[in-house]
């Protein structure tokens, strides 16, 4: 096995947004949740992690680079994922390169890992979900592990809970499971991304100066102090999960939207019920909720659902393209870009929604009329600069291998970042 060969695999994995939230663990080390959760996978074209994993007899330790910067792999979560996946490694034979790795050799071989997010990490969008899912998926391919996606999801779960839901595209359920060892706490796909392809997703990345409480410590404090969480996990979520599965199956947008908004609001209520209370949403988040609620009410049937994770960013799911373009007009009316921000960097992702909304240039934003449901006696305030930018996207596919060698993040000769 001596020699200077390097074997590499590159994968791309999406991020996901929960519509029924995971909040609270019953086991901190294994990352076992107190309730089931359901998510929508986001299109990797706009939000994803790309990871290259490499193995070589010339590597003398496990190393990892995130967005070009070397980071430590010493943390328990990385170590759990690496240990779990190594224990499932199988024989690998690459005839083309003349490489043969026997199952038992994997425990002595070191890995290099390079990971890159196609969205700003500072934006507070779930980067750990896509990151751990991609790490586990890529390593499983490198090591020829025979596990299926659900079994891999149970490994990714040990990196970050929400990561287990990024092993599938479309609509995904994380089943909390009962076993103490966590083997039945895994993700399953409810429907793929084509099942409900009318949906359009608009994310408002909200400007924030506040340092947020991490999900991990926030949920620990909630478990320790909130009675509302106990009620939520025991009485509310089990029923909501059934209703949400039904809404997704029937593409029933009215129920889907009602359940999504209510569950997001209950998650934030549970944060407020924590001692000391945790605030993730800010004034801008609340204003966005008002805009959507008012519009939904004036239309009589819901046009848009909103949901917020552990931060102020709003994820809005519109029933179709028409609703999405009307939503974008409303959002741009209330939250126009700063003078020094151009439209092209203010709306990113699938820009065709902007065309549908009839907005080609920044002047078109200033010319937008006040949304029609605003009565004359209510001032239609503008909050310029309170949103950093918007991302237009849609439900997307699960992890894929990238066979194009030019997309690898590590040099095929040295195994070091390119």
Task: Verify binding: residue 156, ligand DP6, rule CB under 6 A.
Answer: no
Which CB, 307 or 329, lies closer to ligand DP6?
307
| Tokens 């929508």, residue located | 40
Rounded to 5°, angle at Cα 173 from 284 and 170: 75
Is 166 a binding residue for ligand DP6 by CB under 6 A? The answer is no
Shortest distance in whole angstroms from residue 183 CB to ligand DP6: 17
| Total site size for ligand DP6, rule CB under 6 A | 15
User: What is the rounded CA–CA span in Å between residue 115 and residue 308?
Assistant: 26
Out of 14, 24, 131, 161, the only residue in the binding site for ligand DP6 (CB under 6 A) is 161
- Which residues 34-93 are close enough to bind ligand DP6 by CB under 6 A? 37
Give me the least distance between CB of 54 and ligand DP6, in Å please: 26
The answer to whether residue 31 forms part of the interface with ligand DP6 (CB under 6 A) is yes
Among 12, 13, 22, 347, binds ligand DP6 (CB under 6 A): 22
Task: Give residue for tokens 């924030």.
Answer: 208
Give me the phi and psi of 87, to 5 degrees please. -70, -10
> Residues 208 to 237: which contact ligand DP6 by CB under 6 A?
215-216
Considering only 244, 310, 316, 353, the residue that binds ligand DP6 (CB under 6 A) is 310
**Residue selected from 52, 162, 189, 325 as contacting ligand DP6 according to rule CB under 6 A:** 162
**One residue of 8, 9, 12, 21 binding ligand DP6 per CB under 6 A:** 21
From 44-52, 107-115, 154-162, 222-230, span contacting ligand DP6 (CB under 6 A): 154-162
User: What does the alpha-carbon distance between residue 17 and residue 280 come to, in Å, rounded to a whole number?
Assistant: 16
CB 43, min distance to ligand DP6, A: 17
Stretch of residues binding ligand DP6 (CB under 6 A), selected from 15-23, 184-192, 243-251, 410-418? 15-23
**Residue whose CB is nearest to ligand DP6 in the complex, by number:** 161
> Rounded distance, CA 418 to CA 413, Å?
10
Q: Which is nearer to ligand DP6, 112 or 165 (CB)?
A: 165
Residues 88-147 that bind ligand DP6 (CB under 6 A): 126, 128
In sequence order, what are the beta bridge partners of 53?
9, 113
Q: Cβ distance 206 to 388 under 8 Å? A: yes
Q: Tell me how far, at minimum, the Cβ of 198 lies from ligand DP6, in Å.
A: 23
Contact residue for ligand DP6 among 18, 281, 368, 409 (CB under 6 A): 18
Would you say 203 or 357 has its CB closer to ligand DP6?
Answer: 203
- The least CB distance from residue 33 to ligand DP6, in Å, is 8
Interface stretch with ligand DP6, choices 18-26, 97-105, 234-242, 339-347 (CB under 6 A):
18-26
Q: Which stretch binds ligand DP6 (CB under 6 A): 19-27, 177-185, 351-359, 397-405?
A: 19-27
- Which residues are at the interface with ligand DP6 (CB under 6 A)? 18, 21-23, 31, 37, 126, 128, 160-162, 215-216, 309-310
């Amino acid at each position: 096995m001596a020699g200077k060969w390097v074997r590499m695999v590159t994968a791309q994995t999406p991020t996901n947004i929960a519509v029924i939230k995971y909040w609270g663990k019953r086991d901190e080390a294994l990352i076992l949740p107190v309730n089931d959760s359901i998510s929508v996978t986001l299109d990797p074209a706009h939000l994803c992690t790309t990871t290259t994993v490499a193995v070589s007899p010339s590597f003398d330790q496990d190393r990892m680079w995130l967005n070009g910067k070397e980071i430590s792999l010493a943390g328990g979560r990385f170590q759990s994922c690496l240990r779990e996946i190594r224990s499932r490694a199988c024989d690998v034979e690459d005839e083309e390169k003349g490489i043969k790795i026997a199952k038992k050799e994997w425990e002595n071989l070191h890995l290099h890992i390079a990971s890159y997010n196609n969205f700003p990490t500072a934006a507070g969008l779930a980067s750990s979900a896509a990151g751990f899912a991609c790490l586990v998926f890529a390593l499983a391919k490198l090591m020829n592990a025979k596990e299926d996606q659900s079994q891999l999801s149970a490994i990714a779960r040990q990196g970050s809970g929400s990561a287990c839901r990024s092993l599938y595209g479309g609509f995904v359920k994380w089943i909390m499971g009962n076993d103490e060892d966590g083997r039945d706490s895994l993700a399953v796909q409810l429907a793929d991304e084509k099942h409900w392809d009318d949906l359009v997703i608009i994310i408002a990345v909200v400007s924030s100066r506040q340092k947020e409480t991490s999900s991990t410590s926030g949920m620990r404090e909630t478990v320790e102090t909130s009675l509302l969480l106990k009620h939520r996990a025991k009485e509310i979520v089990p029923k909501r999960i059934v209703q949400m599965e039904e809404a997704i199956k029937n593409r029933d947008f009215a129920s889907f939207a009602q359940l999504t908004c209510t569950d997001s609001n209950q998650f934030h209520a549970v944060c407020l019920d924590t001692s000391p209370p945790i605030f993730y949403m800010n004034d801008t988040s609340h204003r966005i909720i008002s805009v959507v609620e008012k519009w939904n009410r004036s239309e009589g049937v819901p046009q848009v659902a909103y949901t917020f994770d552990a931060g102020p960013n709003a994820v809005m799911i519109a029933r179709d393209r028409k609703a999405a373009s009307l939503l974008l007009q409303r959002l741009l009316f209330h939250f126009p870009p700063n003078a020094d921000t151009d439209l092209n960097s203010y709306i990113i992702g699938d820009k065709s929604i902007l065309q549908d909304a009839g907005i080609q240039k920044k002047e078109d934003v200033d010319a937008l009329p006040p949304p029609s449901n605003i009565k004359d006696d209510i001032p239609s305030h503008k909050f310029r600069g309170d949103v950093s930018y918007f991302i237009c996207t849609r439900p997307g596919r699960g992890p894929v291998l990238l066979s194009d060698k030019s997309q690898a993040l590590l040099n095929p000769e040295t195994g070091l970042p390119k």
